[in-house]
Amino acid sequence: MIHFQTHIGLLTHLHGMHYLEVPQEVVQELGGKLKARLHCTVNGRLRFQCGLMALGEGKAYISISKKRMQELGARLGSSVAVTLEKDDSQYGTEVPAEMEELLLQDDEGNRRFLLLKPGMQRYMLNHVSAVKNPQLRVDRAITLIENLKKLPEGKENFRAMLGLPPR
């Protein structure tokens, strides 16, 4: 478990995305690896799963949504206390019950899901989790898995899994 103080910054080149700066020393303490999945706790009360992204000069960042900032009562430039812990979960994010059940029932869908890169798996799980309505979660899970099964192995992409035409 690693504790540190940091601030909320803004990445203008990424459409104004807010972030928590992770100092170089903390990145080194985490083994210097940016691929690690982590649990981040901010100000001792807001906890979420995350990963590190390179910021330059050995530093990294963790993105933080405006909704999470509102929950904290924080804004751009605010100083915050951060605790990072290694995330040992299978996918680096929660598996919605609807997706878990679908993958248990659909052998081919499960096989194809397991072949995806971890980032794509997390994308699918987060897309299903993003809605509160259980029926919409079921619908999203089915749509993603059915579209995934139609794609050639190794040629999967988010747009196609969502059922959108290529650009």
| pTM for the whole structure | 0.67
Q: What order of strands is seen across the sheet that includes strand 53-56?
A: 46-51, 37-42, 79-86, 2-11, 17-22, 59-63, 53-56
How confident is the model over 83-123, as pLDDT tens digits?
A: 999 888 888 788 999 999 999 999 999 999 999 998 899 99
CA-angle at 144, arms to 98 and 62, nearest 5°: 80
Q: Say yes or no: 7 and 75 in one domain.
A: yes
**Pairwise CA distance, residues 39 & 91, whole Å:** 13
From 33, 57, 86, the end of a domain falls on 86
Domain CATH code at residue 49:
2.40.30.100
Q: Say yes or no: 118 and 74 in one domain.
A: no
Q: Looking at the domain assignment, is residue 120 inside a domain?
A: yes
Q: What is the pLDDT of residue 149?
A: 95
Q: Say yes or no: 105 and 130 in one domain.
A: yes
Q: How many domains are contained in the chain?
A: 2
Q: What is the pLDDT of residue 75?
A: 93
**Below-70 pLDDT ranges, the chain:** 14
Domain membership of residue 72 as a residue range: 2-86
- The DSSP secondary-structure symbol of 80 reads E
Q: What is the pLDDT of residue 28?
A: 92
Q: What is the pLDDT of residue 90?
A: 81
Q: Looking at the domain assignment, is residue 91 inside a domain?
A: no
